[in-house]
């Protein structure tokens, strides 16, 4: 932590000690990840340094320090599960998400958004949905593929920033504490609702979004997730948890794009 503070204060003479030999495996992974983030920050030029790397390292170190109680350490040593962190990551992913047939259908509209604006895309989506439904005017239920395409089109047409009511409470608290702050709620990209109850949110960023901007977006969404949890508690929900998502790009080129879904408990 001393080295981290020196780095934040602008010192270039910063080194990081090796992790103790007797540290448990999970804590070693956390420590080495924090050091990796700080080394990446140091290697950047002064004009291009990404302070979010330091902030992320602070979060990792905070997690490490808060899990160093004797009981937690003993648990990690007893379990001795060297794949604990990778298992945690696997539990946060959705199996088969990258192979879902809706992705292939979605990619048909990638060039539309690249070549035109959002308003043009909305008109194109509305037109295509009308043409799709016109093929089955007398069917009570659409065929499986057509039903999937219809759901995707409905979802895309509804895309567009909307105010999250649950976030108004946070804005009102800020207004009471800091004065003239808008209490109209935060704008979100894709808000999932059921019978008027806000359930979850996904935030989108275009391809080639900078790491800093994507990180800021993710932190915003985490705060919104907390607002949803508080709102669910007011409905009488115990141990409220919500699933949130952050998507950068179209997620079909893993090298450039990023798709993260996570559960807040």
Most confident of 17-31, 81-95, 124-138: 124-138
Confidence of residue 87 (pLDDT cuts 50, 70, 90): confident
- pLDDT over 70, % of the chain: 77
Confidence of residue 132 (pLDDT cuts 50, 70, 90): very high
Confidence of residue 253 (pLDDT cuts 50, 70, 90): very low
Confidence of residue 254 (pLDDT cuts 50, 70, 90): very low
pTM of the model as a whole? 0.42
CA distance 71 to 79: 12
pLDDT tens sequence across 137-194? 887 889 999 999 998 888 787 765 567 887 776 666 555 554 544 555 677 777 888 8
pLDDT of residue 134: 92
Confidence of residue 55 (pLDDT cuts 50, 70, 90): confident
Confidence of residue 133 (pLDDT cuts 50, 70, 90): very high
- Residue 183 main-chain phi, psi, to 5 deg: -115, 25
pLDDT tens sequence across 225-242? 888 888 888 888 887 888
pLDDT of residue 192: 84
pLDDT tens sequence across 4-27? 555 555 556 667 777 777 777 778
């Amino acid at each position: 932590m001393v080295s981290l503070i020196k780095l934040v204060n602008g010192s270039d003479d910063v080194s990081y000690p090796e992790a103790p030999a007797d540290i448990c495996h999970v804590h070693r992974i956390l420590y080495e990840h924090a050091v990796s983030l700080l080394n990446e920050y140091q290697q950047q030029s002064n004009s291009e340094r990404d302070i979010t790397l330091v902030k992320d390292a602070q979060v990792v170190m905070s997690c490490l320090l808060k899990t160093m109680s004797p009981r937690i350490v003993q648990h990690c040593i007893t379990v001795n599960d060297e794949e604990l962190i990778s298992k945690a990551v696997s539990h946060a992913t959705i199996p088969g998400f990258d192979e879902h047939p809706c992705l292939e259908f979605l990619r048909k509209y990638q060039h539309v958004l690249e070549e035109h604006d959002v308003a043009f895309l909305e008109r194109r989506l509305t037109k295509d949905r009308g043409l799709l439904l016109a093929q089955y005017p007398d069917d009570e239920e659409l065929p499986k593929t057509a039903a999937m395409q219809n759901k995707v089109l409905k979802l895309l047409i509804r895309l567009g920033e909307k105010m999250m009511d649950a976030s108004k409470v946070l804005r009102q608290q800020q207004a009471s504490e800091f004065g003239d702050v808008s209490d109209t709620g935060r704008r979100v990209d894709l808000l999932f609702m059921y019978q008027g109850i806000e359930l979850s949110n996904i935030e989108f960023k275009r391809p080639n979004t900078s790491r800093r901007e994507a990180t800021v977006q993710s932190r915003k969404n985490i705060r919104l997730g907390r607002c949803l949890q508080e709102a669910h508690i007011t409905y009488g929900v115990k141990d409220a948890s919500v699933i949130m998502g952050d998507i950068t790009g179209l997620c079909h080129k893993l090298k450039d794009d990023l798709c993260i879904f996570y559960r807040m408990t």
